[in-house]
Amino acid sequence: MKKTILSLAAAAAVMSFGTVAAEAKVKACWIYVGPIGDFGYSYQHHQGLLEAKAKFGDELETAYLESVPEGADAERAIERFARSGCNIIFATSFGYMDPLNKVAGKFPDVKFEHATGYKREHPNVATYNSKFHEGRYVQGVIAAKESKAGVAGYIASFPIPEVVMGINAFMLGAQSVNPDFKVKVVWANTWFDAGKEADAAKALIDQGVDIITQHTDSTAPMQVATERGIKAFGQASDMIKFGPTTQLTSIVDDWGPYYIERIQEVIDGTWKQSDVWGGMKEGHVVMAPYANMSDETKKLAEETEAKIKSGAFNPFTGPVTKQDGTEWLKAGEVAQDSVLLGLNFYVKGVDDKLPQ
């Protein structure tokens, strides 16, 4: 037994020399909170890894860890990456924020990128996020145009600012078409449970909504909508295969361009700390092809998208009233990013209560 272990160690020592000799110029590493098989959030980050890999070829070495729990395990995972020769580490979930900053302090030569967070305690920490709410505004416009009932169902995951922002943007988009439009919200309290999401979709449909949108990751609501003959929006990836006659459009998270840009900067030695919040303009948020809607709706959706993309329009532009009836944004006033990133209230018309 002892002999086996020794020979194992010896063999491995030889091999570890072997791997060092590889040609890669840079090593990039990813940490995902879910399995890459979720076909949602972690899946899309992994698509970003694959895009980067395709772009750089042999120049880039990659590694990833999936289903890393937020908590004590995250710090170990990040530190292991930092020690295993990664030049840049992408931590793709909010809960990795504190462990990432802690590890970053110990490895000043490694670049740390944190998605959806706000802490940058060291010069080698950057944050990035996407303006998914831009897409949700467009969805709201479509929903209000296409809905006959005048009420949409929203399957939400957890009440964090990003999700609240999405609900508000959807509502504002819808109200721009139909001021009386209603949204019913159901919190699934999970990012991913196909069965529960399907149940939530059915409950909403039974209560009379005729459009479903979701901020959870599975394709189940799309399938339920198809079965019940109503329309729905996809989430995170293009889900048209799950609802060829159902999907109006989908917000596709495309992290690839950002990853490629940042890895290139590491190669060039020009990487700097930054806080990137990219949207449609930067190509981080992409709308899946508009389908299953009238030409008029499609035209309006395309116009809205173009307006946001060009930077001429911000979905959070006043006048906007809060749910409690007080004024949030004056006419023409645009919401500050800092307020949006910590958003904790609804706009008028949302039929739900946020935990305070």
CB-based burial label for 94 (10 Å; 0-12, 13-18, 19+): middle
- Choice between 269 and 355, CB closer to other proteins: 355
Among 202, 231, 284, 298, binds other proteins (CB under 8 A): 202
Q: Judged by CB under 8 A, which stretch of 128-136, 166-174, 189-197, 295-303 contacts other proteins? A: 189-197
Among 28, 152, 200, 300, binds other proteins (CB under 8 A): 200
**Nearest-angstrom CA–CA distance, 334 and 313:** 9
* Lookup: tokens for 110: 């490694």
- Count of all residues that appear for the chain in the document: 356
Among 25, 50, 54, 69, binds other proteins (CB under 8 A): 69
**Nearest-angstrom CA–CA distance, 152 and 232:** 9
Report the nearest approach of other proteins to the CB of residue 121 (Å). 12
Say if CB 248 and CB 8 are below 8 A apart.
Answer: no
Residues 38-57 interacting with other proteins (rule: CB under 8 A): 38-39, 43
Among 58, 59, 180, 206, binds other proteins (CB under 8 A): 206
**Nearest-angstrom CA–CA distance, 108 and 355:** 39
Report the nearest approach of other proteins to the CB of residue 278 (Å). 19
Report the nearest approach of other proteins to the CB of residue 288 (Å). 14
Among 24, 26, 149, 203, binds other proteins (CB under 8 A): 203
Q: What is the secondary structure of 109-150 as a DSSP string?
A: TSEEEEES-----STTEEEEEE-HHHHHHHHHHHHHHH-SSS
Q: What is the DSSP letter of 310?
A: T
Q: Does 195 sit near other proteins (CB under 8 A)?
A: yes
Phi/psi of residue 21, each to 5°? Answer: -75, -5
Q: Which of 141, 170, 168 lies closest to 354, judged by CA? A: 168
Among 78, 104, 144, 204, binds other proteins (CB under 8 A): 204
Among 175, 218, 246, 249, binds other proteins (CB under 8 A): 218
- Choice between 189 and 274, CB closer to other proteins: 189
* Lookup: tokens for 33: 């909170």
# residues contacting other proteins (CB under 8 A)? 81
Q: Does 185 sit near other proteins (CB under 8 A)?
A: yes
SS3 assignment, position 3: helix
Q: What one-letter code names the amino acid at 256?
A: G
Q: Does 15 sit near other proteins (CB under 8 A)?
A: yes
Q: Does 241 sit near other proteins (CB under 8 A)?
A: yes
- Choice between 27 and 262, CB closer to other proteins: 27
Q: Does 8 sit near other proteins (CB under 8 A)?
A: yes
Among 57, 269, 325, 355, binds other proteins (CB under 8 A): 355
Residue pointed to by tokens 């988009």: 173
